[in-house]
Amino acid sequence: MNDKGRGKLVHRVIAACLTAIVLLGASAGCATLGLPSDRLMSCESNDDCKKKDPKKPTCANLRCVECAYDGDCASGLCTENTCKTLFKGEADKGPEGAPANLDACLSRCADDQPCVNKCHEQFPSSEPPK
């Protein structure tokens, strides 16, 4: 091997070693940043999620969420994979109580269709259908 060939070989070996050092350093850096080791893990069933985080027991789109359907929530309303409460509970001393009638209920809903449906369930129409 001549000097040119040996120089190229040394250059490639040094480049490979530096690349390995950088990759090892980057992976070690991520491990020491406090990131959870399972941050990229997905779920395949609700059982996977119940084991990982009891607060997010439902598997939807390969990730653990609080709810996927209205039936997953005690309140009966799931919006954007989060259980929502339509009305404040009796223990909540907030400024608003439960609505007195259908109009008061609908005024709180804006364009939220699940809210409108819940209001119609809460205050069924007293008029007979025509």
Per-block mean pLDDT, blocks of 10 residues, the chain (130 long): 72 85 71 59 86 89 90 86 74 62 82 86 69
Contacts of 1 (CB under 8 A, 6+ apart): 9
pLDDT at 36: 58
Please give the Cα distance from 119 to 62 (Å, whole number).
33
Domain boundary assignment for the chain: 41-85, 90-125
Quick check: pTM over 0.85? no
pLDDT at 66: 92
Please give the Cα distance from 103 to 117 (Å, whole number).
13
